[in-house]
Structures are given as structure tokens and as C-alpha cells.
């Protein structure tokens, strides 16, 4: 069964346009969101704010809301 698009939007931690961080760098701007069927999770396309380099389909548990993340993941619906 395919996931419901509206439900995915509700559990996606970040929206297109949000500024986020990865474990090692940032700030990144969210430029796309995906459902990865094989991994059963949301992923984000990110664009580095300073030089516009892109990362494609970074899984939600590798994306953080702040630079000083404390080891807790921002993904998985904020759980």
C-alpha cells in the first residue's frame, strides 16, 4: 500500500524553504522532499546556502533543525 501524501506531509519534519543542518555542515536549504519506498522514510534534497552545492535525498534522520544538535534526530516526525 502506498503512503498517503497528506500523511507524509504531516510527519515530514521540514518544509521546502526551511534551513537545516547535517551532522557535519550547514546551513542547508531544503529544496525538495521525497518518500523513499525502499527505506520507508522521508528524504530531503538540500542546497548549501553559501555556494549552492546540492545533496540529493538525504534521509530524515541525518537532518537536524539546529547546528548544535544534541544527538537526537529531528526526523521521524519529531519522535
Percentage of residues in the chain having pLDDT higher than 90: 53
Find out if CATH 2.30.30 is the number for domain 5-70.
yes
* pLDDT digit string, tens, across residues 14-48: 999 999 999 888 999 999 999 998 988 999 999 99
pLDDT at position 72 is 47
Q: Using alpha carbons only, what angle is made at residue 63 by residues 43 and 33, rounded to the nearest 5 degrees? A: 25
**Model confidence, pTM:** 0.76
CA distance 3 to 74: 21
Give the residue extent of every domain in the chain. Answer: 5-70
Amino acid at each position: 500500500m502506498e503512503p498517503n501524501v497528506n500523511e507524509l506531509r504531516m510527519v515530514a519534519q521540514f518544509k521546502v524553504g526551511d534551513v537545516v543542518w547535517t551532522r557535519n555542515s550547514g546551513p542547508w536549504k531544503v529544496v525538495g522532499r521525497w518518500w523513499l519506498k525502499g527505506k520507508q522514510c522521508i528524504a530531503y534534497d538540500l542546497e548549501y546556502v553559501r555556494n549552492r552545492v546540492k545533496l540529493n535525498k538525504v534521509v530524515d534522520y541525518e537532518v537536524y533543525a539546529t547546528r548544535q544538535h544534541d544527538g537526537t534526530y529531528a526526523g521521524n516526525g519529531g519522535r
